[in-house]
Amino acid sequence: MKITIVYKDLSLQSVNTVSFGNKTQRVSLSIVNEAYPKTPESEFLFSQFGTMHLVSPLLPSHIETVGFSLVKPVRELIQKMYRSCGKQAPHITHTGEETRVPKRKRAQLRKEFSIIPFSGGKDGLYHYVKEKEAKRVPHLVHVRNMNLAASSSETEWSLKLAQFLKEHLDIAHLKNGTPKNGFDTMRSRDVFLVALMVPYAITYSAQNIVIEGFADEGEHECFSGQEKHMIAFNKLLNDLGFPVRVRWYNISEWQVFKYLIEAYPKHLAHTSSCFAYPPLKNRMQRKDCWPKYPHFPFFKSQCGACFKCYMANLARIVFDGRFSCPEHEVTRYIEAADKWVKKKIRTKGHYFADRSLLHLLEVAKEKMKPT
């Protein structure tokens, strides 16, 4: 497969069609809101890492760029991504002038300022409170349409949580992307997400970009979800002249929940803890969860029976001393979670064998055993 990509004004567009099962179409990726910092740095970063993100689910054998080129460090990063998937490195060509890294005076960024990618979930909240506790000044940035399926829900809860925290929320509004979804899009997601944050770091003079850690990293983790690749990407950004520092807290997801439940329970109730897209969420709430567990204190954002909901609610059952629900409903909910996880591992594979989810499930089952 060959894909030819044209770049113009924070927009990438393929000129040839790509096959998706029985369908063929062109793929594109753009930032459409005027508020996004439009600078030579943001143009460069979007053209480079936006291209990486656009091809990551497709892994075409030939990448051709028109009007711009991929600089050597980015070409090498893309080649590593291919090899991590067991694929031969792509043939990369371009027409037009060579792209050069923007030459500007290195920005004086401040170590006490930080940028937090924010989707309204527990991780953004955890990073926010930890930065505040460390006497740093966090700025919240939400990328709309990074998760196409749950985009409107993530934006809604990001705004609600930011309002609860009394913080300003910047929004980078993506348009389109690839119609191929699932875990293939995760190969480049964290790298692209950080690249989108860098212009905000320069705008706010923030030296730090705080992302989710890698404590739960497994042997089948996607390319950008591996700590060694983020360490290399961190160095790559600095070598390209962007003096930001990507930081992360390496603790498991269950530990994040434990900390927030014990220290910030009211904050956690304002997070989005659901993977379901809005129509499915509404259907699950009405037909599955609410009737089965009428006294279970679900969060308003939850469908109640997806990966994120099960993890959040199992953590609440295990760690929240204020959690109130009839014992028979709690027991049935744990049994349903156990059945769901086993089925997903059997039918979908390793991703659902999540360390934190399995840990919380075992602790919850143990907690509910008769004494």
Residues 212-236: what's their mean pLDDT?
Answer: 91
- In this structure, of 127-136, 217-226, 250-259, 277-286, the range with the lowest mean pLDDT score is 277-286
| pLDDT tens, position by position, 59-93 | 999 999 999 999 999 999 999 999 998 999 999 99
Name the percent of the chain lying above pLDDT 90. Answer: 73
Name the percent of the chain lying above pLDDT 70. Answer: 96
Cα–chain-centroid distance for residue 196? 12
Confidence at residue 150, expressed as pLDDT on a 0 to 100 scale: 64
Residues 230-234: what's their mean pLDDT?
Answer: 95
**For the chain, what is the mean pLDDT?**
91
3-state secondary structure 233-280: HHHHHHHCCCCCEEEEECCCHHHHHHHHHHHCHHHHCCCCCCCCCHHH
Which residues, in sequence order, are bridge partners of residue 92?
Answer: 63
Confidence at residue 122, expressed as pLDDT on a 0 to 100 scale: 96
Residues 360-370: what's their mean pLDDT?
Answer: 90
Residues 235-241: what's their mean pLDDT?
Answer: 93
- Residue 118, pLDDT above cutoff 60: yes
CB-CB contact of 191 with 124 (8 Å): no
Confidence at residue 286, expressed as pLDDT on a 0 to 100 scale: 84
Confidence at residue 357, expressed as pLDDT on a 0 to 100 scale: 95
| pLDDT tens, position by position, 134-184 | 999 999 999 998 876 666 788 999 999 999 999 999 999 999 777 665 567
Phi, psi of 93 (to 5 degrees): -130, 170
152-170: b or e for each residue (b if 16 or more CB lie within 10 Å)?
A: ebbbebbebbbeebeeebb
For residue 136, how many other CB atoms are within 10 A of its CB? 17
| pLDDT tens, position by position, 240-262 | 999 899 999 999 999 999 999 99
Confidence at residue 194, expressed as pLDDT on a 0 to 100 scale: 97
Q: Which domains does the chain have, with CATH numbers?
A: 2-95 (3.30.420), 110-253 (3.40.50.620), 273-367 (no CATH)
Banded pLDDT at 333 (limits 50, 70, 90): very high
Confidence at residue 114, expressed as pLDDT on a 0 to 100 scale: 98
Confidence at residue 92, expressed as pLDDT on a 0 to 100 scale: 97
Banded pLDDT at 1 (limits 50, 70, 90): confident
- Residue 276, pLDDT above cutoff 90: no
Alpha-carbon torsion 323, 325, 326, 330, what sign?
A: negative
Confidence at residue 231, expressed as pLDDT on a 0 to 100 scale: 96
